[in-house]
Chains A and B, each alone.
Chain A
Amino acid sequence: MTDKATPAAPEGDAVANGVNDRRTSYNDFVIRFANVNGSGSASANGMFAKALFRMGIPVATRNIFPSNIEGLPTWFEVRVSEKGYAGRREGIDLMVAMNAETFAEDVASVVPGGYLLYDNSKELDVRLRRSDINLVGVPISQLVLPEFPNPKHRALFKNIVYVGALSALINIDFDVITGMVSAQFKGKDDLIAPNIHALEIGRHYVLDYLDCPLPIQVRYSNGASDKILVDGNTAAAIGAIYGGATVCAWYPITPSTSLAEAFEQYCNRLRVGENGERNFAIIQAEDELSAMGIVIGAGWNGARAFTATSGPGLSLMTEFLGLAYFAEIPAVLWDIQRTGPSTGMPTRTQQGDLLSAAYASHGDTRHPLLFPSTPNECFDFAVEALDLADRLQTPILVMSDLELGMNDNLADPFTWDDERSYDRGKVLGADDLERIETFGRYLDVDGDGIGYRTLPGTHPEKGAFFTRGTSRDEYAAYTEAPEHYSANMDRLLKKWETARDLVPAPVIEEQGRLIGIVFYGTTALPIPEALDRLLEDGVEVDTMRLRGFPFTDEVRGFIDRHEIVFLAEQNRDAQMKTLLVNDLELDPARIDSVLYYGGFSISADTIYEQVSERLVEYNVPRLRAVGGGGRGTAPRKDREYRP
């Protein structure tokens, strides 16, 4: 940057203008970028987050985007937390306000004492000024104007300029960022210099004209140094490859699209044989009905197959899910939930598909569900779901959501045991058929409700049967006899009981306290922070994170052992509560719901506030442990705390 190209900082608009009474804090803030969709901000913002991650700082990212290709507002939020809090927290400490359309609301969302980084090429409207926040004006438009003559480039480089400014403002190691630029554009070397130049323009301006760094800043940490940064959809895709999926059929729908696309991308890297043969088949189907049909056709014929979709797609797949339940065909479905009903808010998150997934299709149907909370569980459950589908000969639905699927989160490096083999379930080969006396596809030989199946083409004489969605007897012959129909339905129920012990068990942290909080999926992300805040108030709780449906006895036990049971989830109708009440035949009054369904991911604040309010209603005494934490309180047998 040359001196003559540098506009002077507008008067009275420098940083630290009077309200900056913050003490310096490190690695503990929420930064939000407000941009226009399609303006190229995503890669700049991603670079910012990755730079902090490379410094070993725990980060959690959230992309808050519209259902739009270009022009509408979009936000990118990074939770920076030395403590590793990955959930959403209300209030923005540092707002990078680059979208004129949302400027007023962006300014309003900054916490008192927080910071507003904005383009002060034009003077800030006095009506938008707030005396309780710090303004950090950088004349980004003026800075890029003389440097980048091409208007399209100029728009893109504005994003890079604010990243450069931030590097000085919050003290990011500049070498980390420039190193990332060099790596990102490797092979396109002519792009490296202008990007680094744009970074330097922003950086030098704030170094020259503003007080740097701000009191909220970053420093090297070990908090994330052994981690990876990955979104749940990518993790699930890699897991599906490790789990042996060979057929993927899907139809594009936000927020699940990136799962199928990641599967293809990683298959091209990890699943291509020495002679170039592609050991996988991916079909972008004409709709979700077809996608599910392809998965079921492949599963019937012995290939591990899966689909990825979201609520509207799940609705279309229900017909086939009923067939697969009744005809007993392995299938895996990833539901990356978004906000319903109908098209709802297609780019917002929710846990709203539980009931429609659990009981998808007409007639008496029920399907096992898995609830991953982290990218690691997305990877693990992708493998597990394929095994379970083969073992149980039924569709397994993995209930992720937009929050987990599409946002980069810290994760432990993925691990794989090379000794692990796939559980292909009960499949008879030609030799088995020679050995056994009679083959009946739906005979419950082992008493676990699961019959033995054969694959097409196995044996010239034995084992062939007709798969159908109509009623059949134990030998797969069509029947409308009541006793055969009922016996088959009862066997399916027995299989359901078998599934109970096979789906992932809950994760329970219990020390005999009065209060238990139950949650699942991404509602787990803000839980540690909410618990810490409750603990500050002297409230200690036990926790149970549900990971599978149907529920094990451990789930019932946890609920039985706690006087007050909260269940936090992200939907209006307390759908997990309904599943618990229904599956375990619980008294609905045993479970107090903590609900959020606004479309963002549930925040620590919401959980803390709702639980605290309820505890006041119940007149629960503060149970601060004497002599420093860890000591539990014995569960009360009476019900005096309940209204």
Chain B
Amino acid sequence: MKKIYLLSLRLYDSKDSEFPLEYEHVTSVKKQIFLEFLRFDAHEHIALDLFGDLALLDQIVPILSLVPKTLKIYQSDGLLEDMRLPNIQPVKEKLDTDLSSNPVLTDRPVFLLLEDGMQRVVESSVKGLVPRSLESPQNLPEGMIGYLSNFVTSSEAERAKLFGNKIPFVCRNPKDTFERRMSEKMPQGALCFLIHLSDFCEG
């Protein structure tokens, strides 16, 4: 008897839309993982926390109407309780594990396979999208999205983009001798402060 578990995928989740993630892109990635899970050859497919905290009924119903009837779902937030939905087999099956199929939580989403009492972790072919806050531009491994949460100069931002880092707050480059001289002495944060201050004084 083979049982495969999808762990905390949380389709349509608020975390998916937080910077630096793109909601549509994350949803698309999650759907790919879900399809991969469904395609897995097993006697039972069990999805734990399939839907996230932004899932709406008109998003849930089309998905559930397409899934096979062997799919069993457990939502820890009680979302699907007492609801008449197609192809739903609500279960109380809960696993105590740190593993996750959610690409926002882990850079390597996995499924858990239970076969004749033996547990096996199956890695998804889809990579993660885990956001990571950085102090300076950095080349992160695949499955992670780095972003700088403080102000950096345009030239620093350009450098960060080369690493694929997301830069939300950029200030201009030093424009004159004084600023350039100061940029040699000051770290990025202080320099941005000085540039902002200069701009403020110039009105």
Real complex partners, A and B?
no
